[in-house]
Amino acid sequence: MASGHFFWAIFYFACLCSASLANNAKVNFREKEKKILDQILGAGKYDARIRPSGINGTDGPAIVRINLFVRSIMTISDIKMEYSVQLTFREQWLDERLKFDDIGGRLKYLTLTEANRVWMPDLFFSNEKEGHFHNIIMPNVYIRIFPYGSVLYSIRISLTLACPMNLKLYPLDRQVCSLRMASYGWTTADLVFLWKEGDPVQVVKNLHLPRFTLEKFLTDYCNSKTNTGEYSCLKVDLLFKREFSYYLIQIYIPCCMLVIVSWVSFWLDQGAVPARVSLGVTTLLTMATQTSGINASLPPVSYTKAIDVWTGVCLTFVFGALLEFALVNYASRSADRAADMHRENMKKKRREMEQASLDAASDLLDTDSNATFAMKPLVRHPGDPLALEKLRQCEVHMQAPKRPNCCRSWLSKFPTSPFKKVPCLGRGQCSRSKRIDVISRITFPLVFALFNLVYWSTYLFREEEED
């Protein structure tokens, strides 16, 4: 009899457990969510115009914690001084009016897509130029309400932000672009923004930019005071380093090649006027076009940039090579005129000397009235030109030999007469014009090498100082 009662008791308990499990399995949590939302957000129960209380329900300011996820950085414009970024923006705060029963931990959070149903911080991006939300396929935004009253707001947005740049070291520069977030209407007495503890800013891995590298980023606070009060503000400083390899290939190496090509005219014959003029003008125009193309991609600033110094000096070298040919041509024509004058003077002296010799011979053949030869003295007078010429030749032969000079010995290998003081007797023997070409072959490369040494040491050192 006792065993029968025990059996029925076990059977009854099993039926109760199965009924309870069946009831639990039939619970509709979506219906529960609806009821909870109607309960906490119903008419007359929640007012989205009123901000949440402070910490522990006090009258202090509402604390909103911010964190960002940088999805991509599209463009960084030097001429507009702006950059475009796409990010996931998140805010989290505590609103005790939104507490609800989580049904024994089974309901983790409630999800909303309408931001106007709950109170929202009036945050704005102070350095924003343009911005838009993403609505494909659905609006990329959600609000999560947790059982203890915490609210998480997340949205994906694209922004174009102002980035004032200092281009003095361009293209060897680093730029700091900021992302500023501030409260528009609530002062620090009512609303305070704080960075989320731990890792407030995250950047997508393998972030690639065409001309920059994101070296690091820093978070900071930037509260601002105005006539209407003090407002909470957060900022992220993104440090970008410009990729120099692009500019080395596109600007510096071509400019060096143009300067070196302009030196080819120093090795051309001074009589090749069309070739030297064409080479100088072509390199000058190409260098000017290169400079204008560089300036077209940069904003018109009032200070001198590093690239301006480089292109200006390279343009000066190309222009100097063209002026050098003008000087050589002028010296050559001056030498031709001097040679013509010298030939005329030599012909005149030769005619005078021939006339003097004829007069002397006629004097020796003259006879006196007694038919005897008149003996003239053979010694020349001090003013006699022939005596002066013989004396000068003797002085030249008796001069002491000069010590050999290395530079003169090297220059003597060229078809020139750099150190002879006699005027040239023809275009092939002109010394002054050829001397200018020979000196330019040495001076221009040395000065350009010295400029490169000073330029790179100066700007690389200044870049390290800024770091």
Residues in Cβ contact with 119 at an 8 Å cutoff, skipping those fewer than 6 apart: 48, 49, 50, 51, 52, 95
Q: Angle between the 306-365 and 432-466 helix axes, to the nearest 10 degrees? A: 160
Contact 175, 242 (CB under 8 A): yes
Q: Write down the pLDDT at residue 369.
A: 44
| Closest alpha carbon to 91 in 115, 66, 109 | 66
Alpha-carbon separation of residue 153 from 67, 400, 467 (angstroms): 11, 100, 37
Which of the 8 DSSP states describes residue 215? E
Going by C-beta distance under 8 Å and a sequence separation of 6 or more, which residues neighbour residue 110? 33, 36, 37, 100, 144, 145
Identify the CA nearest to 91 among candidates 60, 124, 133, 139. 124
Determine contact, residues 415/434, Cβ cutoff 8 Å: yes
Q: 73, exposed or middle or buried, with CB in 10 Å at 0-12, 13-18, 19+?
A: buried
Give all strands (DSSP E) within 222-380, no chain letters.
Answer: 224-226, 229-231, 233-242
Phi-psi region at 337: left, alpha or beta (left = phi > 0; alpha = psi -120 to 50) = alpha
The amino acid at residue 21 is L
pLDDT of 367? 47
pLDDT of residue 419: 39
- pLDDT 10s digit of each residue in the chain, 467 long? 445 555 555 555 555 555 444 444 455 667 888 888 888 887 778 888 889 988 877 888 999 999 999 999 989 999 999 999 999 999 999 999 899 888 887 888 898 888 888 999 999 999 999 999 999 888 999 999 999 999 999 999 999 999 999 999 999 999 999 999 999 999 999 999 999 998 999 999 888 888 899 999 999 999 999 999 999 999 999 999 999 999 999 999 999 999 999 999 888 887 788 888 889 899 999 999 999 999 988 999 999 999 999 999 999 999 999 998 888 888 777 655 656 566 666 777 777 777 777 766 666 555 444 444 444 444 445 555 555 555 455 454 445 555 656 656 655 555 544 434 434 444 444 567 788 888 989 999 999 999 999 999 999 887 666 65
For residue 204, the model assigns a pLDDT of 92
Could you count the other beta carbons within 10 Å of the beta carbon of residue 307? 21
C-alpha to C-alpha distance for 54 and 191, rounded to whole angstroms: 9
Give the whole-angstrom CA distance, residue 310 versus residue 304.
11
- Nearest residue to 343 (alpha-carbon basis) of 422, 428, 270: 422
Count Cβ atoms within 10 A of the Cβ of residue 354 and give its class: 0-12 exposed, 13-18 middle, 19 or more buried: exposed
- CA 51 to chain centroid, in Å, comes to 47
* Contact (Cβ atoms closer than 8 angstroms) between residue 82 and residue 153: no
Rounded CA gap, 460 and 466, in Å? Answer: 10
Q: What is the pLDDT of residue 384?
A: 54
Do residues 306 and 171 touch, judged by C-beta distance below 8 A?
Answer: yes
Q: Partners of 180 in the beta sheet?
A: 235
Residue pair 317/266 in contact by the 8 Å Cβ criterion: no
How much is the pLDDT for 239?
A: 95
What are the CA-CA distances from residue 299 to residues 7, 160, 173, 214, 304 (Å)?
93, 18, 15, 22, 12
Nearest partner of 109 among 161, 201, 47, 32, judged by Cα: 32
DSSP state of 347: H
Q: Is 198 left (phi over 0), alpha (psi -120 to 50) or beta?
A: left
